[in-house]
Structure formats: C-alpha cells, structure tokens
Amino acid sequence: MVTRRDLLRTGSAVLAAGGLGLARPPEADAAPAPRLLPSFGRPTRLDVADVSGLDGYDQLLLTTLQGVVNRRTPRLYFSYATGDTDLRWLAGTGARVTAHDHALDLVARYRREVRGAVLIDPDVPDSVNVATTLAGLSDAVAATAEQADRHGLGTVTDLRGRFDPDDVPATYRWQLRHLFPRCAHTLVAGLPPTRTVPAPGVRWREVARETERVRDSSNRRTRTLDLSPELSAGGDGDAVYLRFQDSFGDDGWGASVGSLALHADGAEIARFTPGTEAERPYLFDGLDSSVGGDANRFGDGSGYFVYRFTVPGGTQRLTAEVDLWNQFLVTATTTAPTRVEPFPNFRDYTVASRAVVLWLPPAGETGDLLDEALSRLAPTTPYTGWFPNDVAGEWGGVDRASRHGVEVVATDFYMNATVHAGVPARVSGRVRTRPRARLRNRVHVTFTIGEGDNVQYCQRRMRDIWDDPARGTVPVNWTVSPLLADLGPALLAHYQRTATANDLLVCGPSGAGYTYPASWPEEHLAAYTELTGRYLRRTGMDLVYAYNPRNAAGDGWIPFDERVVASYARHTPLRGIIQSWETGDLQTRAGGIPVIGNFYPQGKGADFRDALLKHVEDRDPSRPLFIAAAINAWTWTPSDIATVAALLDDPFEVVRGDVFFELLDESQRHG
C-alpha cells in the first residue's frame, strides 16, 4: 500500500529536482506539433491518492471523475498499482503534489465539477461502457445507485432496466444509434466492461502437472483426473472449480484442452468441446485463454481458464476425462476463486475525450457491429483500448480495424492518461549515431524486445525491466510506440535520456499505431505511412517492428509486398523493417527497404542458444547470415538476454538494430 508519506516524499522530490529536468523545457514554449491524440493541458498541481486497495466500483467512480475534472485542467492523479510504478512517473510531471489518505474524499472535493451520476445496471455488465460514454457527454460520473446516494450525487441518467442482459449486441446498437453521433470522433475505445479479480484466501489442490517442456502436442491424450478429494473439502456448497494453466509460464505453450467430460459416481453429468455452446454453462473464467483452430481452449504463459461444475448431492466419486496436452498444470478448489467487478482503466481519457466506449468481439454479430462503428470513422482515427478474446480477438480486431483504415493503440491498462498526455518533455527527434561496423562472414544477431505498441507496457513492464542493472551490457532493440509523443511524452523522454550506448529505441508494430498494412484499403494506406513518417521524425526512430495479416491457413503471416514497403519508403525515414514471422526464414528487399522476418525460439538460456545453433547449422560460412531474434517482453529481462549473449560465441556477433540493418543493406546490395 502506498502511504501519504510516500506521496509527499515524491512531491518533495519533484520540487527539489525541478521535475527531473522536465518541468519547463524549451520546447514547452514552441508551437505544438500536430497531434493525433488529445491533450488536456499541462498539470501544475495534482491531488494524488492511492486507489489500489479499492474495488472496481469505487475505482470506476474515481476514474470517470478524473476524466471530467482533468478535461478542464489535469488535477487528479491516482496510484493504481501495489508497487511504485505510478509514483515513479509522478515525479516527472513537474507538478506540485498534494497527497490524500482517502481517495474517495476527492469525490466531495470535486463534486461541484460534475453534474451527477450515470447509474450502471449491476445486472448488465456492458452498462458500464454505456455509462462511461454518457459520463463523457454529460460531465458526470459512472456509479451504482448506492454510490450516488452515499456521495450525494444526483442522477443524470438511470440505466437500470434499460437493456437486456442476454442481448449484448442490442446494448451497443442502441449506443451507436443514440450516443455515437454526439461523441467526439477523434478516437473510439474498446474496453472490457468488467474484470475478474482473485478472491482472497483461495487454496488450490494440484491435480496434474506436465513436468517436461512439451510444445508439439506429443503428450496429447485423454487423462482421468480424480476430483473426489474436493467432495469433502468444504467451500461454497456443491461447486467444484477446475483450473488449467501453464506449468512453466515462460515460453508460451501452456495447457490445451480438446474436450472434457465429468462423471459423478460413473454417471456423465457434463460433456463439451471448447468454443461451443455446450461449454458456456461451465466456463467460469476464460478471459485469459483462447480457443484454437483445433477446437481447443488453451492458456499460455500467465494465462489460465477455470470451469465450474455443480455436483449432485451425495456424490462419492467425481472424475473428469480430459483431452489434454502440452505444458499443463491442473488444480482444483471448492471456493469461488474470483469475483467480477467493473473494469476502470483508461476511462479518465475516454471521458475527457468524449469518446464512445465499446466491447465487441470481432466475429459474428458483434463483429458486424464493430465494422459498423469503424466504418463511421475517418482514415487514421485511432481505436484505443483493446479487443475481447485474447489472441484471436487481437488478430480479428486489428484486421477489421485495418480494413477500415483505422490503427489500434493498445491502452486498456494505461493509467492517468489525462495527466501524462499533458506533461511537457524533451522528446528528441535526433536519430542515434550508429557505431562503426564491418560486414564479415558471421551470423549477425540483433535482439528485439516486442510489445512496444502497447502503451501500458511502456508505462509499466518496460519501466520495470528497463531498471534491470544488466541493461546496457548487451545490444538490445526496445520497441516503443511513437505515439507516446502524444500520450506520454515524459515517458518517452525518460527512455531516450537514460538509454545506454547498447539500447536502441525502435518503433513498435507497425508504426503510428498497431496495424496490418496489407489490409489497408489502397486509397488510405498512404495516410497511415504519412502519419507514421511524421511520428518517426518527431521521435528519432528509423526502424520498425511490424505485423501483417495471418495467412489463409492461420499458421503464419503474409509477407510485406511491394505496395506496402514502397509506401513506407515513400513517406517514412525507415532504414529497415523486422516483420513478425517467428521462423526467421524471410528476407526481402521489396520497395527498396531491407525486410527480415524475426526468429522466435522458445525457452531461455541454453535452450535459446541451441535453437539459434540449429537455425544456422546449414549456413554457408563464406557468406554473412542475419537473424532478428525476438524476445518475449513479459517473461525476459535484460539479465536473461545477457545470459544468452554470453553463450553465443563463434560464429555469432550480437549488434544493435541500426548496425544490423546497415550490414544487411550492404550484404543485399553487394551479395
């Protein structure tokens, strides 16, 4: 828990350090650069409070309050994390800080600046998004009826009983018809209406575990899992919860389930295949999982999924027959492991922007509705937030947005955006000077940490691993979003200012916003690459890590063609493109720019080294070879990269990305 003393100490540090040199840079007095994403002014005084201990309902109330208040002038800043991430960035705002012990006291302090409350319907989760949209349009907060009464807030709109909880498309269809025309169209937002949080004190029993690293489905078989111990374990009555997750968590090949049948004293009481209607009654928590093309549900890395089963009274033996494979860890409990509450994140920015807030899975009827919303936007309008259904939702959502000429800005966990967007900072447009290098008949390797398009990654995870003492010992490319120049200039300036000679900031997928360029309509592609060029010049980046759509089989990517690369070449300063490819066997020069597909080995340390050795075992030693090695941002640290680099002796040579592409360009021109 962050204390008031911590906040006051942070405020004093800001004053003593002059805002860490960011309080009033010369650029603050210059004419502002054209912006894609809005700012709400420079914060000079901030009321700061810790909200990490509050539930989602109170955080929703405060975050929508923050949006209304900060639209006029940023004055509210909240610490959401149990660590110090939000406080570390607070020091760079240059604002005077007043710390408050009780965050909810700020409702009374700023009550006169809001017109009242839009009441959510607890029986209709998606009413949280409708209430957020209305809060932005009405200068109101989103709250329950009980919260409104407790804080003395009048009712602006009451959404209770307005929508059918079983007809999600109708809820958003109503919003698009009645609210979207009144919204500002500078951006749209995709935010989950609710989140699932762990319940305290839950004890899990391990049922089954794969102890070997299995990534090829070779251990697939139907296993009998004995859940009888749960029958006498107590808990929440007659329910048993079965959780599937990754037994390793660091290489992306977690538990995969192809079917499940449950038997009570030999009688079948449940049977389903993942992704079907038959699964729905039993899927208690599937937000951190995906449904694969093999009619399977899987949870990789930190992902998981939980089924809930009601067991007949008097049952003596309970077993589950599960078609199960890869790196599984199966656990069981009789206590509800999670609770559902509103998802509060990023709503300050959407309220301040008066944006429409949606949550539409990009398939079926909701996918058609998402198309309808996207079709109303001008080309290069950003879709902020994220998409439902994990990886499948990402691929489908980004592709749909791309087909409408809309780029995606991942911000669903970006906190205090209304403050960070207004902090003036020295964002450098100077391209890094490249070290001198000589092309040799070696294997030139460059390491690239992904996820840089993800603005909340830049705010949180990247800051954590950036502070690893091993950073700078090995050449590494760090993907970041050039749109941080709008959404968090002080964040980007910090990374620029503290980068070592071995750290290179490169543009995250796929430029000024995450997109699949090949999916863009011919008439709008230049608008995206022109926008990208503007932000690359503004931020001093000349390399990009980029994505394209999946191929028809769904097992790989479509390579960039002449049309796409020529547009990049015409409108941006790019010297090279790393395309998401995973197998590392793509290398082209379409459009005059070197393009190389990344190579994404699994595992760390010696496993990663061995995969690189296998990849180059048939190389021609009389010619140079190039490998763009991908690094998982969520499981690796600079220390892990340094460990791998120390294992790479002859014929490998690890270089920074700009050197890598200079040598690749020379090799292609003269090879």
pLDDT in tens, 144-184: 999 999 999 999 999 999 999 999 999 999 999 999 999 99
Q: Three-state DSSP class for 252? A: coil
pLDDT at 558: 92
pLDDT at 335: 94
Please give the model's pTM, rounded to 2 decimal places: 0.88
Which helix (H) or strand (E) element contains residue 479? strand 476-480
Tens digits of per-residue pLDDT, 596-622? 999 999 889 999 999 999 999 999 999
Contacts of 567 (CB under 8 A, 6+ apart): 517, 525, 526, 529, 591
Tens digits of per-residue pLDDT, 91-114? 899 999 999 999 999 999 999 999
What is the three-state SS of 173-242? Answer: HHHHHHCHHHCCCCCEEECCCEEEEECCCCCCEEEEECCCCCCCCCCCEEEEEECHHHHHCCCCCCEEEE
253 versus 406: the higher-pLDDT residue is: 406
The CA-CA-CA angle for residues 633, 639, 645, to 5°, reads 95
Q: Which CATH architecture has domain 443-670?
A: Alpha-Beta Barrel (3.20)
**Residue extents of the structural domains in the chain:** 4-196+341-420, 200-336, 443-670
Contact between 128 and 165 under an 8 Å Cβ cutoff? The reply is: no
Which helix (H) or strand (E) element contains residue 496? helix 489-498
Tens digits of per-residue pLDDT, 215-232? 899 999 999 999 999 998
Contacts of 643 (CB under 8 A, 6+ apart): 604, 605
Residue 98's CB is within 10 A of a number of other CB atoms, namely 16
335 residue type, one letter: T
Contacts of 615 (CB under 8 A, 6+ apart): 584, 599, 601, 627
Tens digits of per-residue pLDDT, 4-21? 444 444 443 333 333 333
Q: Three-state DSSP class for 472? A: coil
pLDDT at 21: 30
What is the C-alpha separation between 118 and 103, in angstroms, rounded? Answer: 20
pLDDT above 50: residue 23: no
Contacts of 95 (CB under 8 A, 6+ apart): 14, 19, 43, 44, 45, 46, 77
**Beta strands in 253-359, from DSSP E residues, in sequence order:** 255-264, 267-272, 283-285, 290-291, 297-299, 304-310, 318-325, 328-333, 338-342, 357-358
377 residue type, one letter: L
Report CA Rg, the chain: 26
Contact between 517 and 546 under an 8 Å Cβ cutoff? The reply is: yes
pLDDT at 32: 59
Percent of the chain with pLDDT over 70: 94
Q: Kindly state the DSSP code that residue 305 receives in the 8-state scheme.
A: E
Q: How does DSSP assign 572-634, residue by residue?
A: S--SEEEEP-SB---EE-GGGS-EEEEE---SSHHHHHHHHHHHTTT--TTS-EEEEEEE-TT
Q: Three-state DSSP class for 440? A: coil
Which helix (H) or strand (E) element contains residue 367? helix 364-375
Report the phi/psi class of residue 116: left, alpha or beta, with left for phi > 0 and alpha for psi in -120 to 50.
left
Give the Å distances, CA to CA, from 89 to 58, 211, 493.
Answer: 23, 40, 12
End-to-end alpha carbon distance in the chain: 59
Tens digits of per-residue pLDDT, 375-419? 999 999 999 999 998 778 999 999 999 999 999 999 999 999 999
